[in-house]
Amino acid sequence: ETGVTQSPTHLIKTRGQQVTLRCSSQSGHNTVSWYQQALGQGPQFIFQYYREEENGRGNFPPRFSGLQFPNYSSELNVNALELDDSALYLCASSRDRAEQYFGPGTRLTVT
């Protein structure tokens, strides 16, 4: 167990809807990175938040957005859901962008 928690564990949404995923970082960590893992693929970097500011973004459209709170927990928001957004969403926390510790993930299914 890494101490990183994510909620919910699983959810089902309809195409066009919006979704918010949550991540609580490990104690003492100030950085959260989000990854998308499609079935049978390796995780892909979405973006990173460091001390409440976005600190880098992967090749994902603007409908993927996020924020980080003063307690360093984080949210990932996805608007206008598409079928291809169905994936396991992983968050990882770290201290000052050092080694990343992963949470259990949120399984999103878009129908």
Partner 1 sequence: KQEVTQIPAALSVPEGENLVLNCSFTDSAIYNLQWFRQDPGKGLTSLLLIQSSQREQTSGRLNASLDKSSGRSTLYIAASQPGDSATYLCAVKDSSNTGKLIFGQGTTLQVKP
Assess 98 for contact with partner 1 (CB under 8 A).
yes
Assess 41 for contact with partner 1 (CB under 8 A).
yes
Q: How many Å apart are CA 87 and CA 44, to the nearest integer?
A: 11
Q: How many Å apart are CA 110 and CA 97, to the nearest integer?
A: 31
Assess 66 for contact with partner 1 (CB under 8 A).
no
Among 17-25, 63-71, 73-81, 99-107, the segment contacting partner 1 (CB under 8 A): 99-107
Q: What are phi and psi of 101, to 5 degrees?
A: -115, 125
Q: Determine how many CB atoms are found less than 10 A away from the CB of residue 35.
A: 22
Among 12-20, 61-69, 72-80, 103-111, the segment contacting partner 1 (CB under 8 A): 103-111
Instruction: Reduce the DSSP state of residue 40 to 3 states and report it.
Output: coil
Q: Which of 66, 105, 108, 110 binds partner 1 (CB under 8 A)?
A: 105
Among 12-20, 22-30, 51-59, 64-72, the segment contacting partner 1 (CB under 8 A): 51-59
Instruction: Reduce the DSSP state of residue 42 to 3 states and report it.
Output: coil
Q: How many Å apart are CA 83 and CA 49, to the nearest integer?
A: 26
Binding site residues, partner 1, CB under 8 A: 2, 33, 35, 40-45, 48, 55-56, 58, 88, 90, 92, 97-105, 107
